[in-house]
Amino acid sequence: EMSEMSETSKQNVAHGLAWSYYVGYLKIVLPRVKKSMEEFSRANPNMLTCRETWKLHILIPLSCDIYDDLEKADSNIQYLTDLAETSLSRAGTKKRVYKHSLYAIRDEDNKLWHCAVEYATPLQSLHAMSQDDCATFSREDRLEQAKLFYRTLEEILRGSRECAGTYRLVAYEESGEAETHFLSRELLWHLRQQRCEEYAVHEGTCPHGPSTTLSSTELNLQISASDLPQPLRSDGF
C-alpha cells in the first residue's frame, strides 16, 4: 500500500536518482577532486589561487535544462582543460575513465576565475521523463522532483565524510527573461562567496546572493516535509 502511494506521488524518482548519483558517481570521484586540483595548481600556480574553490561545482537548474557545452550556455564561460583522470574497473567495464573539466569564468571587470564545473546529470533523466508520454510525468512533477533531488542530494552529501569539502551545489531557478550571462553570474557569486569564506578576516562581509540562488531553507518551504521518503538509516544519514 505504501509502495503504491509512493509510486503514485512519484516520491521514489528523485530520491532514487539522488542516491544513485551519489553511490555510483560522486562517492567515487569527489574524494579525488582536491588531489587533481592540487596537481593542476602546482603546474599552474597563478590560476587556482583560492584553495576554498578547489571543489567540483555541481550545477542544479530546477528547470532541468542542461547544456552539453557550457560555452554555448554562456559566452563568459570558457573551457580550459581536463583535470587528471581517474581510471577504475566498474561493473564489468575495464578502466572506466572519470574526469572533470576546468573552466575560466569571466567577470564584469574582465577578470578570470577558475573552477571545475559540471551539471548534475540525473536531471537529464527528469527532463527526458517529462518529454516522454509513457512516463506520465508533467512539467510540474519535474519541478517538484528537481527540488526534491537537490534536497536529498544535499542531505546525503552532508552526511558523507569522504566527500566533505570537495563539492559545491549550485542550485538555481532561471528567471523568465533571457539573460546572456545568467550562468556565469551564478557561478561567480559562489566563487566569491568561497573566497570570502577563506579570507573573511581580510575581506569583511560576504556578498549577498543573487535572487535566483536557492537555499535548502527556501526549498523546505516549497516542499512538504511529510511528502519526503524516509531515510534508510535511523540516524538520519
Percent of the chain scored above 90 by pLDDT? Answer: 54
Listed residue (41, 43, 47, 28) closest to 85, CA to CA: 28
Element (H, E) at 81: strand 77-82
The share of the chain scoring above pLDDT 70, in percent, equals 74
For 70-114, the pLDDT digits (tens) are: 999 999 999 999 999 888 888 888 888 999 999 999 999 999 999
The grid coordinates listed for 35 are 588531489
User: Which DSSP state fits 108?
Assistant: T
Give kind and range of the element (H or E) at residue 113: strand 112-119
- pLDDT of 3 reads 45
Please report the pLDDT score of residue 225 as a whole number. 41
pTM, to two decimals? 0.80
β partners of residue 168: 57
What domains appear along the chain, each with residue ranges and CATH number? 10-204 (3.40.50.12100)
Instruction: Report pLDDT digits (tens) over 151-166.
Output: 999 999 999 999 999 9
Query: C-alpha cell of 143?
Result: 519541478
